[in-house]
Structure 1
Amino acid sequence: MKKPFGLLACVVLLCGFGFLSIAYGSRSIDLYTVWQAFAAFDGTSADHLIVRNTRLPRTLVAAAVGAALAVSGAIMQTVTRNPLASPSIFGVNSGAALCIIVAISVLSIDSQSQFIWAAFLGAALAAGAAYGLGSVGRGGGSPVNITLAGAAVTAFASSITQGIMLVNGRSFDQIIFWLVGSVAGREMPMLLPVLPFLAIGAIVCFALAAPLNTLALGEDVARGLGQRVGAVKLGAAAAVVLLAGSSVAVAGPIAFVGIVVPHIARFVAGRDHRWLLPYSALLGSVLLLGADVIARFVAMPNELPVGVVTALIGVPFFVWVARRDVHAK
């Protein structure tokens, strides 16, 4: 019974951080005014307009992106049997961002719906490249090899991105928006086009919860139990591409959420994916909402991109997980 109560606690925590995200920033708004903005909206009130048109979309984007990145990280860690796996480490985020940047600066595309398809293409290509490179040669397919290949793909995509920025300076302002990762200035028309893809990715992930429990025992054991390992991996890869690609399309390549949250969720909920994935989704939303609230106050009256805050949180955690994994071996 502890796990359902834990989920309920996560929901309460998410609601609390959601309120903080809506109420606080460069202009603080009291609880009654926030309530009135929804219950009795006044189109002439500056506070009501800020709540409805600025902070609510920003909060929903942060919650959706945080959940998507956390769930995709949990899936990747299970499938690759690598505690450091995440969309940012394996180059998925960087590949998606690169394709969006090419769409903006080279193809002069400025449609959100086209950004989505560019992000999916980049995420799929980067994931395939990281897995393919990591599977070649001696010890192919090992967690270390795939992690190194993902780092190489990330570095390559980032280098190409920097090159595009230097060559095509006129698009710098647009490109920098995607590079750092931010939920500031997001509006509902930016979130709505990616919601169907986020929903499909989430449905696939939760449908794979039981098969992922079997796969976590090892591929040989899973096959011995009648598991179609190839189909499970393919479904998991498709879900990660949908979730990570959608996240980058709306908020840019926000790093480390996919590493940090699954480990916290695993500590709280255990390794059963029927619980791990819901916990990861809720805690991912909480983490990104909390990081966004912090980002508003660290450099007042200016704001930091939320990707900077998640990096400050995630880098020490990444080092700790890496050192723990090395010592465990």
Structure 2
Amino acid sequence: MSFRRISLALLGLFFLLGPTGVFAHNGQKSGLHDYSFFELWNPPLFIGVISVFLLYLHFINKNRRGNPDFTPVSIKRKLSFLGGLIVFYIALGSPLHVLGDSFLFSAHMLAQSLVYIVMPPLLLMGLEKWMVQSVIKIGFKYKILSIAKVPLIPLLLFNILFSFYHIPIIFDKVVSNTIYHNLTHLILTATAFLMWLPIFPVSDELDKLSPLQKLGYIFGAGVLLTPACALIIFADEPLYVVYANAPQLWTYHGPLDDQQTGGIVMKVIQELIYGTVIGYIFFKWAKKEHIQDEYVPTINEG
């Protein structure tokens, strides 16, 4: 069982079992009570997520058997990969997805935050380099991953596409059509992974940034995302017709309040995750420098 198959399984889960369950803003249902258990919790996606994690464990165990030089995959990596899958399911398989697709812009932004900002680093941290060698080779062969060798390109690509997606005329057109909606999510998810690859490289070819450069990279990502969030938060009227005309779940939480909440949710989650990653990079860097400082005197004494 190759990890290439697991990657294809993840892609299939996203495109076939994720956002396709609800036609966005069809106006036919007034609340979550109008949806079935199947629509709210997407059991096929849940089964798919569990299956992918079992394939992941099977792949690890298969490579461990009969290989005395095999380096065990840490519990932290396994939990990180599982956490990424759980975040994926919450965003696309739970009632949050229904709320975001048909009722609340804030729920939509929360789901996007989970898929684009939280999920990629968790999944990437759950991978060892040997797991994805075949996928990386294919990516470079067809030039898909070549842009990740120049970190500035994926950094700009994701944030520009994300900002364009939230231009009202584009957003209303995309979110009102299931095919456009799914395709846009697929593109943004792919570019989000590309954006995170320079921080959590899964191959030596992609490991281009020093710790200091990674800190600057994350800071730049936060700056680039700010204009889109600011446009949403500080608008004095609802920007998106599809949500302004969506059924209102609460009289005290109108479309403008919901829109501003969505922008705040995105910005807060972004700051939390980026701040956490900055701390992770900094302490990992400090630990490496400390080990080197201890190693050098030992050599000199010898």
Instruction: Please report the TM-score for the alignment, with normalisation by the length of structure 1.
Output: 0.28
Q: Which one has a bigger Cα radius of gyration?
A: 2
Relative contact order (C-alpha < 8 Å, sep 6+): which is higher? 1
Which TM-score applies when normalising by structure 2?
A: 0.29
